[in-house]
Each structure stands twice: as structure tokens, then as C-alpha cells.
């Protein structure tokens, strides 16, 4: 908003104080009262009507309006009120005293007392203001002095890991940018940025060609921490056109470390500025995504605002008012730095979209990672068919109805359910085998046949014991698990093997695994301090069921489809999943694995990974190998 519009929007209130009445009672009856002129001036001042103000000034300077507008802009005045306290006159001169109350955006009310010199116009009856800069504020008596506002943010609080160590904290950094008019060889500059900083030349072209970029602008290209800058300084700094600014970076030990959980931090965007409102200003550094954004106000606190008098050189002459800000507060998470490090190592070399989540038996999220970094958080917000990892749930429903690991089941190549043929992955078949072996080898047809006598309600009940159809949130964008009641024989068959309308996030499947360890499904927790009273209740998955499920899942790793997740000398259990999605013959598949070790459950998904046992299980194995028993 322009200063003129902002000034016009200000609401003014001018009150006549008791002292004014006393002054005029003592005046001669024939003495013209200046009250009306002063009231009109203060009223126009509050409303930002500079033309009306100037008409009441004996000899207004040429920059009269600009001086008053500058105060509104510099101090960010949202509303101005002026109360007339008293008027004293003697002969052809006088003084009016007032109290000003200025509402400063994002700070508070600044109250001060000022005075206005009065004079009779040409010795006649009309009273005008004998204006000087001190009419704005008494401290502006010296030439070149002006009012200024400073905003000082406190040091941003860290995001903490479970043991209180910083998960994300600030560290010195430098913004590397370009001043277009100073560049002498753009191709050489782009080549150097690519070689030293890994920046695609097309990105530089896009930034320099963005709407509104002027030749004299500082165009930010990248922000790096000080050690990184020091390593490239000898090459980058001498390039004509490069420019640099000090700033602060936030994050873990590496840019990728828990990146989707921590989120990004940088200069506020126009959209983010609209979201945050006061007291944020263009150029402020804020959380842009993840926890940094969701808990911006807690982590940032509020700034201390001061109103100062500065001289023509910008040097502070006097501090007139100080509005103390609020201290930021750290944000506690459940992330375990060592477990997160294991996950980061396992996912480091992935090229396919991948997500990993580790949850303990109390629902605490101990680690989460998602790739690619620049895309959405697949770990918490990805919604996928869980495929055969859902057989953990289906097996529970079957165990409830008398099936045991030794019950014979038919693992045929295909099975027809309601007119649709279902098959095993790679069209394998085992014949008649114990249910335990069918689980270990993830036989689709055996599960569909064995579950044919279950009712839809039986399956819904089993799913909901594992938290499906339960709403919960981690404080970030979160997807749980959904198991709609199957409609018909075909959909029930598909749902038994985690297909059809069944969906789950990697986060949710990690909680499913954790329930097998402990016997109770717990809603996941990332931020202990925000556990709400209306959080979903834990649910038991059934007496005796966890022990059988763990036994079945051990066989997956020791003799079945998940052998690539085995850890020598460690008690590891798991379940593979190969989930069909999209269209095609055969359709593409995601690769899943849910693995257990000690009190930790690991869920891995690799989008388009074809087979859970071949692609997701080895990734999970690397994580499981680094976990404690």
C-alpha cells in the first residue's frame, strides 16, 4: 500500500482536554480562539490529509507532505490518534500541546507528547501553525534528523532430536548472487558456477530472466554454508558480476538430513508473507516448509522493535521507544539422530522415488526420509496401495478365524474371485502348502482362497485394529491408512492382498509393523508436546496374535521373499510387498518392505521398484543392520 493510501486509511481521533477549556476561560472575550485550527490540523494529520494540514500552516516547506508520509512508512504506522491537551496564547503567538498515539504494525502503541507553535496570520484574527520538524516529534529539532524503526529478531530456536541434541540449527552462510550489469562473460560465469557449485546454467538464465529483474539488482543464485563458500571462493569471488551477502542456513549436518521433516528456511516469499502477516517484512528469513514452516512462530519468537532518531548519515542519535519481543522456543521431536543417520545412509544412492520411516513400539517416529528432496514428503504424505505388506493384517483376520501356520492352503498360479483372475507375482505357484510357507513366499492366491469365507466386516475389524480408517496428524501433512469396506467378492479378494481401494502411507505401514512387535497399535508421534487430548486411542491387535505374526514374518526373512533384508546374527522379521498401480499388462508395481528389529519397525517403499523382495528389502536390510536390537 502506498504511503498516501495508508495515510488516508488511518483513523484519527482528536479530543479536547480539560486544560483547553481552562485556557480559554482566561482569554479575553475578543481574543480569537485557535482551537478550531488546531483541532482541524490534528484531525487531518490523523487521516493523512497532508493538503488540509498544509492549508493550516503559515509557511509549509515544499516537502511537507513527504516528511509526514515518511514517518508513516518508516515506522509502519497502522493507525494514528492525536489528543489535544491544551492551548496557550499570548499576543500573536501560542503553543498547542498534544498527545500522539501511533499504532505500529507488529509492535504496539507508541505514545508521546508533542507541541505545535501557533501564530496569527499577518497579525489578523486567523491562527495558523508556525511549523517546524519538531511539530512531528520534539526530538526532531536538529536539521536532517528523522524518525526510524529497527526490527531485531532473536536467534532462532533449534529443532531438537529426541535426546535434546539439535536436529536443525542455524549456521553462518553466504548468498552467492549476480549483478547483471557487472557481468563481462556470462558463459564463463555459468561454467564456473556449474563446475564449483553444481548449478545448472539454465537455472542461472531463469533467475536472470525472471520478471522484474533489473541490471542493477542483486540476483540470488544459491546459498551455501561458510565451509562450502570458503572452498570455492578463490574461483567464484573474482568473477566479474558476482556479489555476496551474509545470511544464515538452517538444517542438519547435511542438506539432505531429515530434510522433509525439518523443512526449508530462507527469505520470505510473497505468498508466505501473506500467510504470516505481522510482524514479518520482505527480506525476513522464515521457515518455508516442513517443521520450520509449521512452527515458524514458536521457533522465531517475535522481534524487538525500537523507534529511534537518526541523523542525516543514518547514525542513531536517540532511542525513543522500545517494544521487547518474545523469546523463541525450541521444538522437540522424537527423531533419533543415530537411526536417522542409518536411514540417510541407506537412501543416499537411490535414484527412484523412495521413502523410509522408522517407528518404535510407542508410536514415536525415530527417522523419516523421502527422495527426491525437492518433491513432496512421501514418507508421511504418500498414499499407496500397500500390496502384500497388508497381508500382516489379512493374516490377523485369518488367525482370528482358526487358521494356523500349519493349516494347508492352496497356492495355485491363479485364482478366480467374482469373475476376475488373480495371480501371483511372476505367475509362481507352490501347490498345497502350510499357511506359514504361503505367508513367507507371499502367495496371493493362497490368501485370497483362505479369506474367501471371511466377511467384509471381519476384514474391516482387523484393519482397524492396525489403525486403518483412523485419523491422526504429526503436525505436518500426514496420510494414514484407509481400508474401505469391500463391495463384492472381487473387491474383497483384491483388498486381502493390499490392492483395490486399500491405501497406506509408509508412515502408517511402519506403525503396522510396530504393532506386531508390541501387540498394540499406537498412533504415530513426531512432536511430543503437541499430543492432543483427542488423539486416537491405542488398539490391541489381539491376544496371542503378535507372537504368531512375528514367527511368520521371521520366516519371510529366513526362507521367504524377504531374505535380502536379513542381518547376520540379528533377530529380524519382515514382510515384502509388490503393489500394482496404474494400468498396463502387467501394470507397474511399487516395491515395499516392512521390517522389524528390536523395538523398531522400518517401512520402505520404492516407487516403480517392481518387486519388494528384490528392491525394497535390500534397502530395509541396510537400515536394519544399523539398528540396535
pTM for the whole structure: 0.81
Among the listed ranges 13-22, 34-43, 220-229, which one has the minimum average pLDDT value?
Answer: 13-22
Mean pLDDT of 153-176: 93
Q: Which three cell numbers stand for residue 13?
A: 481521533
Label residue 29 left, alpha or beta by phi (over 0 means left) and psi (-120 to 50 means alpha).
Answer: alpha
Alpha-carbon gap, residue 485 to 129, rounded angstroms: 81
Nearest to 435 by CA among 443, 425, 423, 426: 443
546 or 126, which is more confident: 546
Residue 17: the pLDDT is 39
Residue 586: the pLDDT is 78
pLDDT tens-place string over residues 455-474: 999 999 999 999 999 999 99
pLDDT tens-place string over residues 359-408: 999 999 999 999 999 889 999 999 999 999 999 999 999 999 999 999 99
Alpha-carbon gap, residue 499 to 583, rounded angstroms: 13
H helices of 198-247, in order, are 201-208, 226-236
Residue 70: the pLDDT is 95
pLDDT above 90 for 21:
no
Q: Which three cell numbers stand for residue 113?
A: 507528547
Q: Domains of the chain (ranges plus CATH)?
A: 3-141 (3.10.450.50), 337-570+600-626 (3.40.710.10)
Residue pointed to by grid coordinates 515384502? 576
pLDDT above 80 for 629:
no
pLDDT tens-place string over residues 317-331: 999 999 999 999 999
Residue 535: the pLDDT is 82
Residue 69: the pLDDT is 96
With b for 16 or more beta-carbon neighbours within 10 A and e for fewer, the 280-310 pattern comes to beeebbbbbbbbbbbbbebbbbbbbbbbbbb
Amino acid at each position: 500500500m502506498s504511503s498516501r493510501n495508508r495515510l488516508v486509511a488511518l483513523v484519527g481521533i482528536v479530543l479536547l482536554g480539560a486544560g483547553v477549556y481552562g485556557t480559554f476561560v482566561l482569554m479575553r472575550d475578543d481574543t480569537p480562539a485557535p482551537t478550531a485550527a488546531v483541532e482541524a490540523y490534528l484531525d487531518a494529520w490523523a487521516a493523512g490529509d497532508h493538503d488540509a494540514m498544509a492549508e493550516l500552516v503559515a509557511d509549509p516547506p515544499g516537502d511537507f507532505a513527504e516528511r509526514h508520509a515518511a514517518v508513516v512508512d518508516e515506522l509502519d504506522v497502522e493507525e494514528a490518534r492525536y489528543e489535544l491537551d491544551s492551548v496557550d496564547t499570548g499576543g500573536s503567538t501560542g503553543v498547542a500541546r498534544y498527545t500522539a498515539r501511533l499504532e505500529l504494525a507488529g509492535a504496539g502503541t507508541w505514545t508521546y507528547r508533542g507541541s505545535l507553535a501557533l501564530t496569527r496570520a499577518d497579525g489578523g484574527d486567523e491562527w495558523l501553525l508556525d511549523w517546524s520538524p519538531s511539530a512531528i516529534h520534539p526530538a526532531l529539532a536538529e536539521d536532517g534528523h528523522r524518525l526510524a524503526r529497527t526490527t531485531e529478531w532473536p536467534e532462532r530456536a533449534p529443532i531438537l532430536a529426541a535426546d535434546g541434541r539439535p536436529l536443525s540449527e542455524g549456521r553462518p552462510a553466504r548468498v552467492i548472487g549476480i549483478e547483471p550489469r557487472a557481468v563481462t562473460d556470462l558463459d564463463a560465469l555459468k561454467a564456473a558456477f556449474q563446475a564449483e557449485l553444481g548449478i545448472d546454467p539454465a537455472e542461472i538464465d531463469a533467475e536472470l530472466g525472471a520478471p522484474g529483474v533489473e541490471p542493477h539488482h542483486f540476483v540470488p543464485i544459491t546459498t551455501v554454508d561458510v565451509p562450502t563458500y570458503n572452498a570455492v571462493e578463490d574461483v567464484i569471488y573474482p568473477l566479474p558480476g558476482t556479489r555476496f551477502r551474509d545470511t544464515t542456513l538452517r538444517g542438519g549436518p547435511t542438506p539432505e538430513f531429515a530434510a522433509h521433516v525439518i523443512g526449508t528456511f530462507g527469505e520470505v516469499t510473497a505468498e508466505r508473507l501473506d500467510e504470516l502477516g505481522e510482524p514479518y517484512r520482505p527480506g525476513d528469513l522464515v521457515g518455508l516448509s516442513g517443521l520450520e514452516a509449521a512452527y515458524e512462530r514458536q521457533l522465531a519468537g517475535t522481534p524487538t522493535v525500537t523507534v529511534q532518531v537518526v541523523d542525516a548519515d543514518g547514525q542513531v542519535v536517540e532511542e525513543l521507544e522500545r517494544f521487547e519481543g518474545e523469546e523463541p522456543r525450541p521444538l522437540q521431536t522424537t527423531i533419533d539422530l543415530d537411526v536417522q543417520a542409518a536411514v540417510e545412509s541407506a537412501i543416499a544412492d537411490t535414484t527412484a522415488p523412495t521413502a523410509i520411516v522408522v517407528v518404535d513400539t510407542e508410536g514415536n517416529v525415530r527417522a523419516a526420509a523421502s527422495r527426491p528432496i525437492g518433491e513432496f514428503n512421501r514418507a508421511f504424505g504418500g498414499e499407496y496401495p500397500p500390496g502384500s505388506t497388508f497381508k500382516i493384517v489379512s493374516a490377523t483376520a485369518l488367525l482370528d478365524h482358526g487358521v494356523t501356520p500349519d493349516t494347508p492352503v492352496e497356492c495355485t498360479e491363479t485364482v478366480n474371485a467374482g469373475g476376475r483372475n488373480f495371480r501371483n507375482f511372476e505367475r509362481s505357484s507352490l501347490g498345497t502348502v502350510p499357511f506359514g510357507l504361503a505367508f513367507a513366499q507371499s502367495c496371493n492366491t493362497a490368501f485370497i482362497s483362505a479369506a474367501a469365507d471371511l466377511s467384509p466386516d471381519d476384514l474391516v475389524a482387523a484393519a482397524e485394529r492396525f489403525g486403518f480408517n483412523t485419523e491422526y496428524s504429526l503436525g505436518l501433512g500426514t496420510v494414514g491408512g484407509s481400508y474401505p469396506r469391500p463391495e463384492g467378492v472381487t473387491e474383497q479378494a483384491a483388498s486381502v492382498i493390499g490392492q483395490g481401494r486399500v491405501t497406506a502411507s509408509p508412515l502408517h505401514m511402519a506403525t503396522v509393523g510396530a504393532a506386531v512387535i508390541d501387540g498394540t497399535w499406537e498412533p504415530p508421534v513426531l512432536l511430543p508436546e503437541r499430543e492432543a487430548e483427542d488423539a486416537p486411542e491405542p488398539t490391541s491387535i489381539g491376544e496371542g496374535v503378535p507372537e504368531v505374526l512375528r514367527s511368520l514374518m521371521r520366516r519371510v526373512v529366513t526362507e521367504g521373499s524377504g531374505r535380502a533384508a536379513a542381518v547376520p546374527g540379528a533377530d529380524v522379521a519382515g514382510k515384502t510387498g509388490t503393489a500394482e498401480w496404474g494400468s498396463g499388462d502387467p501394470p507397474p508395481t511399487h516395491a515395499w518392505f516392512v521390517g522389524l528389529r528390536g523395538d523398531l519397525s522400518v517401512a520402505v517403499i520404492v516407487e516403480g521398484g517392481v518387486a519388494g523382495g528384490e528392491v525394497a528389502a535390500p534397502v530395509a536390510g541396510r537400515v536394519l543392520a544399523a539398528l540396535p536390537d
